[in-house]
Structure formats: structure tokens, C-alpha cells
Amino acid sequence: MSHFTLDELSEIARLEEQFVNELIKQDPMIESQHCLLAPKEDSVQRIIAYNQALSVRPSKKLNVIKLVLN
């Protein structure tokens, strides 16, 4: 595992933001950062539906039981 100082993490975050801004400028289909960062409504609904269908319960023998309900 790598260990970073706060200055190095700050530099990484700054460079990441710079790269994202460059990508946005180069892509004519992206008009703003809002378009890049906002998920589609369909994606949100699928995640919510999966969350409602997923059952995760503790078990003494199996530690955790994960079931997808129909």
C-alpha cells in the first residue's frame, strides 16, 4: 500500500481536476460539468429498484446471506 503526504494528495486532486476540465473542453457534446456528473434518471431508478430487491441478513452459520428477491 502506498503512503502519500497531504501535499501529494493535494497535488493529485489538483491534477485530476485539471484533467477532467481538459476532457470537458475537448468534447463538443459536453456543454457543462453538470452534464458530465449527473446520472441518468433510468440509472437512478435501476439502483433504487435493486436496493429494494436485495436482502442482506446476518447468519450465525454463513456470516451473511445475500438474496435477490423477485
Mean pLDDT of 4-32: 80
How far apart are the C-alpha atoms of 47 and 54, rounded to whole Å?
A: 10
At 4, is the pLDDT very low, low, confident or very high (cuts 50, 70, 90)?
confident
Quick check: 41 pLDDT over 70? yes
Looking at the whole model, is its pTM more than 0.95?
A: no
Mean pLDDT of 56-69: 75
Which stretches does DSSP call E strand in the chain? Answer: 54-59, 63-68
Quick check: 60 pLDDT over 90? no
What pLDDT does 29 receive?
58
How far apart are the C-alpha atoms of 53 and 27, rounded to whole Å?
A: 37
First to last CA, the chain: 41
Angle CA(15)–CA(16)–CA(20) in degrees, nearest 5?
A: 115
